[in-house]
Structure 1
Amino acid sequence: MPKFDVVVMGSINLDVKVLLAKYPEYGHTTTAQTIDLIPGGKGANQAIACAKLGAQTAFIGAVGLDSAGKQMLKNLEDHQIDTQYIQQSWTTGTGTFVVMVDAAGENTMVGMLGANADLDVSKVEATLANVNAPIFLLQMETSQPSVLTALKQAKQAGMFVILDPAPADNYFEEALQYADCVTPNEQETERITGIKVTTVAQAKEAAQIIAAKGVANVIVKLGRAGSVVYRNGVSTVIAPYKVHAVDTVGAGDTFAGALAVEYGRTGDFLAAVEFANKAAALKVSRAGGQAAMPTRKEVLTAKLSK
């Protein structure tokens, strides 16, 4: 049985990234500063974050049998990610998203899941029955049946299951029963709890509600305000690192990958959250997607203040 440090399941997309001075008003036209085609998808981003941080990584996902799919597979392989468990669809194209980033580094996205929505449940079952890893990391950017099947099987296999409940529109509550850790941002936290999180106090309240739904380890991500961790009945505030935000695309995925790698490596949960916060801070301080994600050496040697 193949052994890995982390198994990641999720979406693979070809992203069209548009850099703007500011978002256009509804019905208006504006000129972009740059438009680039880049590899994306939350699953692929998280897998590459894991690989760049030194983890032996396997990936479960789906692409179309098109030129974009071939490019995305090569990109994963170039990062030494095992792609043998990726399904190639004859009937559906590779997922594609348009990502708009403004001068403040904030991003807005719209797109189609494509082949991601057709990920075959039997493929997921067969893979998780034949791989061995301490950590399983996934999001909710593939079909609901594939997500639920993966959660159940990874839990049964004794993996530590980290669920990034993104995008918020794809969230379903049954998923929480099988997650050992859940990592919602403000929008996803509101979707899960009904609480609009704007303060640390609200984040603590929301984290307790999520924990009551059956998750032992909850991390509510607050962006520039850091993170709130709730576990064993105790809330811990992880202060943010101070960086100049250039590009927030992939920050949450960098956090997820870093958390998975570091917790698998050390077993120290709070230290892993600190490491993930630092990795995400480095990412937002750089322009670009996967290429701007930091290596382990960069995270360990970076001199950032809080």
Structure 2
Amino acid sequence: MSKVLVIGSINMDLVVETSQFPAPGETILGRQFRTFPGGKGANQAVAASRLGAQVTLIGCVGNDAFGRELVAHLGREGIDTRHVRIDERASTGVAAITVCQAENSIVVAPGANHALAPDDLHAAHAAFAAADVVLCQLEIPLATVEAAAALAADHGTPFLLNPAPAVPLSESLLDRVTLLTPNEHELGIVLGKPDDDWIGLLRRHPQRILMTRGAEGAWFADSSGQVRHQAAFAVEAIDTTGAGDTFNGALAAFWGMDLPDLARHACAAGALSVTKAGAQSGMPTKAELEEFLNKKNRS
């Protein structure tokens, strides 16, 4: 399995289950409140670790109860947290999540995640040299993402970027991305071509973009420019929080596979993750994923 270096956010998710989403200005009663470890960086690190990868995480938390709890939790998941810095001025990031009938709405307060700086990456340069793949997202400062891509390039390490939340990305950053993993909405935004059709965008970037469309699966263009589809796996969804992060963590964990097999494993892992509540708590193990795929192969 891969040696994965994840650079990204670490949050505590504050989750309320409701029977309906509140309208602007409306107060409603929720059914249940729970806390879950989250943040796209931490989520993807946990997903990769559970699928058998050797994972190192670079991130930042506050010097508070949430921060201490999250770092301890990541350690229990088998993740190397020596490069998770504790910031004395910012609070640990939180995400307020409303879950309604397996769908969710999310508001993120980044906190210490926005204190993660390029200097933090340079201090961990040896981790870039040791990694088989570097995985990053956009819940940390864009300058830090750009520094991560540059360091990965300096060490000849593939750079996997999940561009969420979506912002336009510079050509210099895009040129350093080995595989970009947007959803359909994010694709045009990050490429600076929001009015172009997604099929055309995929064809112009063969084997460099793997685009997701939720329950429909994933698409990419092969080396000949032909757009190929990996269908999603049918499951009974309980909570979709973290499905995309599971998808990306699986890509990193199985990085040595070719793109069609990568897409299949990632779609299967993402499907399994929605069958349980919580972002990280629903993420499958390698054994669970293998059993799931073996059943699909026999059916």
User: Same fold, TM exceeding 0.5?
Assistant: yes
Asked if the contact 2:4/2:132 (under 8 Å) is kept, the reply is yes
RMSD of Structure 2 on Structure 1 (CA):
2.0
Q: Which residue of 1 aligns with 2:285?
A: 295
Aligned residue for 2:164, secondary structure, equals coil
Of 214, 222, 225, 1:223 maps to: 214
Of 81, 86, 89, 1:88 maps to: 86
Aligned residues, how many?
292
1:286 counterpart letter in structure 2: K
Instruction: Work out the CA distance in 2 between the residues paired with 1:231 and 1:106.
Output: 32
Q: Which residue of 2 aligns with 1:106?
A: 103
Q: Deviations over 1:223-262 (max 9, x none)?
A: 1111111242232111111112221100000000001111
Instruction: Work out the CA distance in 2 between the residues paired with 1:151 and 1:234.
Output: 28
- The 5-angstrom pairing of residues 61-80 of structure 1 reads 61-80=59-78
| C-alpha deviation, 1:171, in angstroms | 4.4
The answer to whether the aligner puts 1:151 opposite 2:149 as a matched pair is yes
Instruction: Work out the CA distance in 2 between the residues paired with 1:203 and 1:120.
Output: 33
Asked if the contact 1:218/1:231 (under 8 Å) is kept, the reply is no
Instruction: Work out the CA distance in 2 between the residues paired with 1:176 and 1:19.
Output: 38
Q: Which residue of 2 aligns with 1:126?
A: 123
| C-alpha deviation, 1:192, in angstroms | 2.7
Of 194, 202, 208, 1:207 maps to: 202
Instruction: Work out the CA distance in 2 between the residues paired with 1:75 and 1:126.
Output: 23
2:114 counterpart letter in structure 1: A
Q: Give the TM-score normalised by structure 1.
A: 0.90
1:295 counterpart letter in structure 2: T
Of 251, 260, 266, 1:270 maps to: 260
| C-alpha deviation, 1:304, in angstroms | 4.6
The answer to whether the aligner puts 1:251 opposite 2:243 as a matched pair is yes
Instruction: Work out the CA distance in 1 between the residues paired with 2:239 and 2:125.
Output: 34
Of 161, 179, 182, 1:181 maps to: 179
Aligned residue for 1:111, secondary structure, equals strand
2:164 counterpart letter in structure 1: A
Instruction: Work out the CA distance in 1 between the residues paired with 2:9 and 2:271.
Output: 23
Asked if the contact 2:207/2:220 (under 8 Å) is kept, the reply is no
Q: Give the TM-score normalised by structure 2.
A: 0.92
Asked if the contact 1:46/1:254 (under 8 Å) is kept, the reply is yes
Change (3 A) 1:272 1:255: same
Aligned residue for 2:209, secondary structure, equals strand
Instruction: Work out the CA distance in 2 between the residues paired with 1:249 and 1:36.
Output: 13
| C-alpha deviation, 1:156, in angstroms | 1.7
Instruction: Work out the CA distance in 1 between the residues paired with 2:85 and 2:139.
Output: 15
Change (3 A) 1:223 1:57: same
Aligned residue for 1:43, secondary structure, equals helix
| C-alpha deviation, 1:136, in angstroms | 0.7
Of 268, 280, 284, 2:270 maps to: 280
| C-alpha deviation, 1:172, in angstroms | 2.4
Q: Deviations over 1:15-61 (max 9, x none)?
A: 11111111012211111111111110000000000110011100011
Aligned residue for 1:11, secondary structure, equals coil
* Structure 1 residues not aligned, in runs of 5+: none
Asked if the contact 1:136/1:161 (under 8 Å) is kept, the reply is yes
Asked if the contact 1:226/1:237 (under 8 Å) is kept, the reply is yes
1:240 counterpart letter in structure 2: A
Instruction: Work out the CA distance in 2 between the residues paired with 1:128 and 1:260.
Output: 19
